[in-house]
Amino acid sequence: MSGRLAGKVAMITGAASGIGRRTAERFVAEGAKVLMTDIQDAKGEEVAKALGSSAAYRRVDVTREEDVASAVAEAGRRFGPLDILLSNAGIRGQGAIPIEQLDMAAWDRAMNVLLRSVVYGAKHAAAVMKPRRSGSIVNLASAAGLVAGATPHDYSTAKGAVVHFTKGLALELGEFGIRANAVCPGYTITPMVLEGLGIGAQAIEAEPQKVDAAFAAVHPIPRVGRVEDIADAIVFLASDEARFVNGQAIGVDGGLSAGAHWSGHRGKMAAIRTTLAAEGT
């Protein structure tokens, strides 16, 4: 099969739904063989079956290093040595609660799923990729890992750590021909985001323009992200087209992480001038 990923072997964590699922579909369409991993067995098996002989599903708890190591080994046995790793598995975090109310057990859970799993993946993928002096590791971070305040403490802290870990990987592994990059989505319509918003997929499908208008408040490009937006960036980073792209945290967020446009400060500056004038400053 021809394609941008022809002949390559990939493993994706969190592949049963959302960004992981769409990326698995894109990888196969571009010629890759894909081992999909998740804990949503019914969904994962359904997607793998639909993708045919180029995909397989394995249950993996990414918080268990032995599960991740076994999955990397299975990808090799089933399809050949690993060329691409996408560490994508995620959870939402605790929500917008004050620091003094943090549940530290939930904090540890978030760190295990969002950060430790990424370390496990890189550790075992690198062991396979180094002897071949080739490979692409793509870690799913977040715009919340680039700017503070957009998400709960545990989520943003873990995603920020993923960004820095990825940069460290790039510096270490570049000499072995292995690239490491992070993709940092903005608000994207996935099952996890829908759960956090308390709305169903049907509402999104019924009124997409209304949804885009709502997210214009946070994205300079005035719409919400779609899984296709993120998957396209991942395919690029996984492919040989990105052969000289290494150590980057690429925001796929409509400009969210770029900062606040000056026009948004007009009202605040007017209030400051009014206050200072009233005080005779």
* Active-site amino acid positions: 155
Pick the closest to residue 76 from 135, 139, 1, 2 (CA basis): 135
C-alpha distances out from residue 94 to 91, 106, 200, 277, Å: 9, 7, 20, 43
Please state, in angstroms and rounded to a whole number, the distance separating the CA atoms of residues 35 and 12: 6
Q: Are 37 and 11 in contact (CB under 8 A)?
A: yes
Six-digit token string for 88:
């994508």
Q: Are 91 and 109 in contact (CB under 8 A)?
A: yes
DSSP state at residue 241? G
Please state, in angstroms and rounded to a whole number, the distance separating the CA atoms of residues 237 and 109: 29
Sheet holding 135-140, edge to edge: 55-59, 33-38, 9-13, 84-87, 135-140, 178-185, 249-252
Please state, in angstroms and rounded to a whole number, the distance separating the CA atoms of residues 184 and 145: 7
Six-digit token string for 18:
């959302």
